[in-house]
Amino acid sequence: MKVSNGRIHRALPGPSIIPDKVLQAMQRPAPNIYGGELEEITMSILSDISKLAGSKGRVALYISNGHGVWEAALTNLFNEDDKILTISNGVFGKHWGNIASKLGIEVVHLETDTASSMLLNIEEISELKQSLNHPALLLVDSIACFGCDDMKMDEWGVDLLLTASQKGLMTPPGLGYLVIGERAEIQAKKVTKKSAYWDWGPRLDPTNFYEIYFGTAPTHLLFAQKAALEIMNEEGKDNIIKRHEILASTVWKAVDIWSQEGVLKFNVTSKENRSHAVTTLVAKNYDLLPFKNWVEKNTGVELGIGLGFEGPEYFDGNSAFRIAHMGHLNPHMLLGVLASLEMGLIAANIPFKKGGLDNAIDYLANSINSES
């Protein structure tokens, strides 16, 4: 007996849920790649990305995933033996550092926390840097929360921002972006040796259109990205950011109650440090696998795996999971997830305090009413 034969809701922190219009946009033949419509689409994408980043900087678009733009950023900005400090929340900062090491860059890694789904306070870091009068460039990987958490790149003093298509940008994976601030452009000119694929020089100042892509353009992903940005433009950046804040807070209101008893806890304790894109929950020394399996088998909801929770106290990752609340998301979808989770907690006999869902609903009802 299986009751989950409907539409699967993947509450995975990317690739995120793709709107119908975005899928629809890929339903067309390959275009001419030497200009015309594709050039217009490209220009509008680049412009939209920088606006979403809150920057007047130019944008380099790479056919790659997020790891690709990590490498692109490092390649353009650093010479061998340069030194970088990585401040990491979760596993990805360490990975970025590894890429730098392979490029011969000296890496100092600052492990703030293993706190996956934590949001670094970029503004504070930037202010600290400025108060020290330190000339370092500030690079920010916002892939996981771009288009979900607010980003005011220029105002906050960020020199280079990384993002990619498959999370808040609601597009299939395969496009990576660098938003390049003025200081980063200047620094890049001092770097003597760059691989041709990552070198953003000709991508920013192409002689021919195709140099923006250093070769063949990723035509269908561009059609999709353009459609997704049209949806985002229609909603407006402010509304998008506010919607994510409210929906993330709705999740937290549920967890606030659930975690008052039993095993389930926030991975990031302080609300101020949590991302609005994804929430990580952990049950240290408790195996959540039966719960996660029950939810996945029976409700139509798929949860994100816990990354970076190794060791027996985390049952090799099975003590943690992530709830994505990014991109194409509304109360129906999100409350369906929270209700499925509360049901799974009951069904799998996980110790928790009931009432989280009710608390979430109360909060959300009030938030909508007070905002309208």
Among 287, 273, 316, CA closest to 117: 273
Q: What 3-state DSSP class applies to 322? A: strand
Please give the C-alpha separations between residue 331 and each of 25, 97, 170, in angstroms, as whole numbers. Answer: 25, 38, 17
Q: Of 50, 55, 75, 117, which one interacts with a copy of itself (CB under 8 A)?
A: 75
Residue 366, phi then psi, degrees to nearest 5: -65, -40
Cβ nearer to a copy of itself, comparing 57 with 68: 68
Residue count at the site for a copy of itself (CB under 8 A)?
110
Q: What 3-state DSSP class applies to 110? A: strand
Cβ nearer to a copy of itself, comparing 121 with 239: 239
Report the distance separating Cα 96 and Cα 77, nearest Å: 14
Q: Of 212, 257, 329, 350, which one interacts with a copy of itself (CB under 8 A)?
A: 329
Which region among 131-139, 237-245, 256-264, 272-280 touches a copy of itself (by CB under 8 A)? 237-245
Two tokens, residue 51: 């606006």
Two tokens, residue 192: 């003597």
Task: Give 313's contacts (C-beta < 8 A, 6+ positions apart).
Answer: 284, 285, 319
Q: Is position 60 an interface residue for a copy of itself (rule: CB under 8 A)? A: no
CB of 22 to a copy of itself, least distance (A): 10
Among 219, 168, 174, CA closest to 27: 219
Two tokens, residue 274: 């949590």
Which region among 105-113, 180-188, 283-291, 292-300 touches a copy of itself (by CB under 8 A)? 292-300
Q: Is position 368 an interface residue for a copy of itself (rule: CB under 8 A)? A: yes
Q: Is position 298 an interface residue for a copy of itself (rule: CB under 8 A)? A: yes
Do 50 and 59 contact (CB within 8 A), yes or no?
yes
Interacting residues with a copy of itself between 176 and 235 (CB under 8 A): 193-197, 199, 213-221, 224, 231, 235
Cβ nearer to a copy of itself, comparing 14 with 54: 14
Two tokens, residue 231: 């949806």
Cβ nearer to a copy of itself, comparing 221 with 229: 221
Two tokens, residue 360: 């979430």
Do 163 and 179 contact (CB within 8 A), yes or no?
yes
> What region does 36 belong to: left with phi over 0, alpha with psi -120 to 50, or beta?
left
Q: Of 42, 55, 60, 68, which one interacts with a copy of itself (CB under 8 A)?
A: 68
Q: Is position 63 an interface residue for a copy of itself (rule: CB under 8 A)? A: yes
Q: Of 94, 109, 237, 242, which one interacts with a copy of itself (CB under 8 A)?
A: 242
CB of 156 to a copy of itself, least distance (A): 24
> What region does 248 belong to: left with phi over 0, alpha with psi -120 to 50, or beta?
alpha
CB of 313 to a copy of itself, least distance (A): 21
Q: Of 115, 164, 283, 320, which one interacts with a copy of itself (CB under 8 A)?
A: 164
CB of 303 to a copy of itself, least distance (A): 10
Cβ nearer to a copy of itself, comparing 47 with 195: 195
CB of 149 to a copy of itself, least distance (A): 16
Q: Is position 239 an interface residue for a copy of itself (rule: CB under 8 A)? A: yes
Among 167, 175, 180, CA closest to 232: 167
Cβ nearer to a copy of itself, comparing 6 with 135: 6
Interacting residues with a copy of itself between 118 and 137 (CB under 8 A): none
Two tokens, residue 164: 């990619």
CA count, 13 A, side-chain hemisphere, 272: 4
Q: Is position 351 an interface residue for a copy of itself (rule: CB under 8 A)? A: no
Q: Is position 260 an interface residue for a copy of itself (rule: CB under 8 A)? A: no
Q: Is position 93 an interface residue for a copy of itself (rule: CB under 8 A)? A: no
Q: Is position 299 an interface residue for a copy of itself (rule: CB under 8 A)? A: yes
Two tokens, residue 4: 């989950």
Residue 214, phi then psi, degrees to nearest 5: 45, 60
Q: Is position 172 an interface residue for a copy of itself (rule: CB under 8 A)? A: yes
